[in-house]
Amino acid sequence: MVVRMNPIQTLQCFQPLHLHRILASATLSLAAIPALQAADSSFQHLASFDVTRNRSSDQQVISRVAEIVDVTEDGLTLVYTDSASQLIGYVDISDPANPQPAGVVNVGGEPTSVAVHGGLALAGVNTSTMATIDCDGETVDYIADWSGKLVVIDNTTRAISGEIDLGGQPDSIAVSPDGRYAAVVIENERNEDIGSGLIPQGAGQPACVDGDLIATGAPMPGKLVIVDLNRWSARDAQTMIGLPGLFAADDPEPEFVDINAANQAVVTLQENNHIVIFDLPSGAIRGHFPAGSVDLTQIDTVEDDLIQLNTAITKRREPDAVTWIGNRFLATANEGDYEDALGEEGGSRGFTVFDTNGNVVFESYASFEHELVRLGHYNEGRSENKGVEPEAVEYGYYGRQHLLFVGSERSNAVGVYRLSRREGAQLLQVLPTGIGPEGLKAIPARELFIAATETAVFDAGIPTMINIFAHQNAPAGYPGLVSANDANGLPIPWVALSDLVADPVDPHRLYSVSDSFLAKGFVYSLDVSQQPAVITSRLEVNTTDALDLEGIAVGADGTFWLGSEGQTPGGRDNLVLQVDPNTGNVLRTIPLPADLVDQRRGNGIEGIAVTGAPGNEQVYVAIQRAWPDEGDLDQVQTKIGRYEVASGQWGFVHYPQEPEGNGGWIGLSGITAFGQDLYVIERDKGWGDSSPPNAELKAIFRLEMGTAQFKPYGQSLDTIGKTLVANLTDQIAANSVWTAEKLEGFAIAVDGQAYAVTDNDGVDDAPGETVFLRLGELLSLGQ
């Protein structure tokens, strides 16, 4: 039985921490994540709801996006905003493991936020009008008129009950815990194409001067609107114009609002790097303070396709979302959204806990970013900007734990922190999400947590989704793989793992490689005796060749054999590399036969295996898909190659691929040797859990080595037989929020235990999960 206490009363133990305690608690060790595996409780992924399932009754209007999310008072229905489709959507979570579409309501504009009040949903709707101007031959859109409304929807009938003009463009909305007030932030956001995006900006049509758009007229400043929910009347709160400490005193641009039990509203002014606290009954400003700056060390600020935590900078916090923690404390997600006149950009890559006087109670510094590096979730393509960009933050009181949830927009994950006086904010676990977690909602009454993601890659089969997690008495299921600290005490960076191989002696040691997402090739050493498995070291491959490492094998002498996929037209060659395991130096480079290379396409060497004694090795490579010499590109056979080290000769067989289904093209993604047998990964290109599912084939096949003879290229090739060992689609689905496309690694340790891993594509247009599977004894696969 869960015993609940009043969170406002119990939170009095969360007192301001001394500086030394802040710094100590901001440094998170590797032990923080493995320790969760043995914890009494954690958040378990139950389901991910594809919002495109939600449609109007006539099926003509389809929901596309989920941004901000709330829940009805009975906890049974989610309510979310879809600004792209001008909808408020509903999802039935009476069975949270099986969410169902519950309809949509068109609100006649772009809903920017939604909050539930009794049996109603209150949506802030942007109805601003756009215009265009020609500036030296370039047509530029700008906001011609900021406007918006509060739309009130009956959650039972889905009918619009009424509307209130808000006198500007709304962004965030919150309802007070006692149901007396709604507070609506009127942002009247700037146009980043006007005046280099600097504030203040004037209202009205801009002027084109020397090729640049210049604002004209006086600014239309943002404000806070207070709605009395007993009288359904709206009034403006005390103006924020002229507050000392703002970049633009006459253009506050408020961003986000939250309300505590004392009917105080906290508002972030993101571009102005400021926080304001209002008293809702009077509408007066109770206090305000600058959000300040953070000195960051050991972060990556260079987008060079390498993750290097070696830079120190100072950044304005520029908080986006804010949440109350009781009545005395508040937490901000410091995303950043402004580049000042000197070209300095804000966003401190973490989160902060303040008291209501503006004192910093806890600062995360770079620790949140470091933990996302540790889990392979770091998006290198955002290093020069704002790193992991914490955009969302939510507080919840679960059992006796004060929990803070911090959403990373660019790393597609939510950090779960426990708040306490002794530890400050202690990381408990990291939850994977879809792309760009925007809306977070704690539902302690049902032991649920919700994360809505705002970004879709429809061409790849990755929709905007709503993730549902349950707080349960069970160890965390994610992550399955983390990295240890390097010699500098920093997490070993890794992303985009593309193969696995077992150590020939140690049953608890695996090796993996990273593909071309990183500018250099690395070999990673994994310790699978721990849960989660731990990357204990990495080895750089020393070569001037451009690499896309897609395969790794270990020879009998302990040397690594690596398969690098080629690229066409131009670019990389398909290569086999023998590498010294101590230095990373390349001992031998083996290309494919020249006449075969002439027929190559982009899908080349995708796996490697090696058998035999040193000097007499047989090196096998899997070619991912058919090349032009095989006929039509849809031809369902590709090649397995074998290189005889002693003779220096290549031989080949055809491999019969499975027919295409809903998941698109089929290809090979790896080859593994164990005993006298060879196994291949054959997979489709499908993602996810749609209906019908796109992800259908993520399979392991055993090659029937006695059924075909390897022949030189140019001869008529035999076709090798194969036997299905297991289709791992269900296992991947059960261990991910959206079934991963790329099953890329499969290994069998000397004790017969089998393992598999997926490639997370470097968190680039992908959810970013790395699914690491422990498959047990090989002979039990598929049973």
- Residue-level pLDDT at 570: 66
pLDDT at site 634: 53
The pLDDT assigned to 617 comes to 97
CA distance 339 to 192: 10
Tell me if residue 240 falls in helix, strand or coil.
coil
Q: Please, which pLDDT band fits residue 780 given cuts at 50, 70 and 90?
A: low
Q: In what order do the strands lie in the sheet with 743-748?
A: 743-748, 753-758, 772-777
Range scoring the smallest mean pLDDT among 7-16, 511-520, 565-574: 7-16
Q: What is the mean pLDDT of residues 46-51?
A: 96
pLDDT top residue among 21 and 304: 304
For the cut 70, the answer to whether the pLDDT of residue 5 exceeds it is: no
**pLDDT tens digit sequence for 416-462:** 999 998 889 999 999 999 999 999 999 999 999 999 999 999 888 89
Residues 6+ apart with CB under 8 A from 646: 615, 616
Q: Would you say residue 206 has pLDDT above 60?
A: yes
Backbone phi, psi, residue 22, to 5°: -60, -50
Three-state DSSP state, 434: coil
For residue 132, give the nearest of 194, 222, 190 by alpha carbon.
194
What span, in angstroms and rounded, lies between the C-alpha atoms of 774 and 586?
31
Nearest to 90 by CA among 109, 72, 110, 73: 72
What pTM did the predictor assign? 0.93
Pairing of strands 256-259, 233-236: unpaired
CA distance 575 to 430: 37
CA dist 79 and 610 (Å) reads 54
β-partners of residue 126 are 110, 148
- Among candidate residues 150, 146, 181, the one with its CA nearest the CA of residue 163: 150
| Spatial CA neighbour of 433 closest among 396, 464, 391 | 464
Residue type, 226: I
Average pLDDT along the chain:
91
Residue 221 phi, psi (nearest 5): -70, 150
The Cα diameter of the chain in Å comes to: 90
Instruction: Output 693 or 474, whichever has higher pLDDT.
Output: 474
Identify whether the C-beta of residue 391 lies closer than 8 Å to the C-beta of residue 354. Answer: no
User: Would you call 489 helix, strand, or coil by DSSP?
Assistant: coil
**Single-letter code of the amino acid located at 569:** P
Q: Give the separation between CA 324 and CA 563, rounded to whole angstroms.
A: 52
Instruction: Please compute the mean of the pLDDT values over residues 499-523 and round it to a whole number.
Output: 96
Helix runs in 346-459, H state only: 367-374
pLDDT (average), residues 404-423: 95
Distance between CA 328 and CA 326 in Å, rounded?
6
What are the pLDDT digits (tens) for 275-329?
A: 999 999 999 999 999 999 999 999 999 999 999 999 999 999 999 999 999 999 9
Bridge-partner residues for 141, per DSSP? 132
Cβ count near 418 (within 10 Å): 16
- At 22 the pLDDT is 32
- Per-residue pLDDT, averaged over 564-580, amounts to 87
Cα separation, 317 vs 351, whole angstroms: 8
The tokens describing 98, both together, are 């099986």
Identify the band that residue 203 occupies on the pLDDT scale cut at 50, 70 and 90.
confident
How far apart are alpha carbons 756 and 752 in whole angstroms? 13
Closest to 464 in 3D by CA, of 46, 50, 47: 50
Are residues 693 and 685 in contact, defined by beta-carbon separation less than 8 angstroms? no
- In angstroms, the CA 520 to CA 244 distance is 49
Span 647-683, pLDDT tens digits: 999 999 999 999 998 898 999 999 999 988 999 999 9
Q: What is the pLDDT of residue 567?
A: 81
Does 471 have pLDDT greater than 80?
yes
Residues 6+ apart with CB under 8 A from 632: none
Give mean pLDDT, residues 698-703.
97
Confidence at residue 9, expressed as pLDDT on a 0 to 100 scale: 32
pLDDT top residue among 525 and 596: 525
Q: How far apart are CA 279 and CA 264, in angstroms?
A: 5
**Percent with pLDDT over 90 in the chain:** 80
Give me the residues paired with residue 776 across strands: 754
Under 8 Å CB-to-CB from 157, ≥6 apart: which residues? none
**3-state SS of 147-206?**
CEEEEEEECCCCCEEEEEECCCCEEEEEECCCCCEEEEEECCCCCCCEHHHCCCCCCCCC
pLDDT of res. 149: 98
Closest Cα partner for 334 from 394, 402, 270, 254? Answer: 270
Percent of the chain exceeding pLDDT 70 equals 92
Predicted confidence at residue 39, as pLDDT, reads: 54
* 346 confidence band (pLDDT: 50, 70, 90): very high
Residue 714 pLDDT = 87
pLDDT band for position 57 (cuts 50, 70, 90): confident
In the DSSP assignment, the letter for residue 733 is H
* Residue with the larger pLDDT of the pair 150 and 138: 150
Residue with tokens 């994977």: 432
Overall average pLDDT of the 525-537 stretch: 97
- The amino acid present at 689, given as its one-letter code, is D
Per residue in 207-243, pLDDT (tens digit) is 999 888 998 888 899 999 999 999 999 999 999 999 9
Residues 6+ apart with CB under 8 A from 416: 43, 403, 404, 405, 427, 428, 429, 430, 431
pLDDT, residue 215, reads: 87
Q: Give the type of residue at 549.
A: L
At residue 629, the pLDDT reads 61
3-state secondary structure 416-435: EEEEECCCEEEEEEEEECCE
Dist CA 375 CA 235 (whole Å)? 47
**Cβ pair 170, 113 in contact under 8 A:** yes
Amino acid identity, position 745: G
pLDDT band at 386 (very low <50, low <70, confident <90, very high): very high
Quote the pLDDT of residue 655: 95
Are residues 479 and 532 in contact, defined by beta-carbon separation less than 8 angstroms? Answer: yes
CA angle 681, 686, 691 (to 5 degrees): 130
Residue labelled with tokens 């906001």 = 143
Token representation of residue 595: 């006449």
Say if CB 377 and CB 412 are below 8 A apart.
Answer: yes
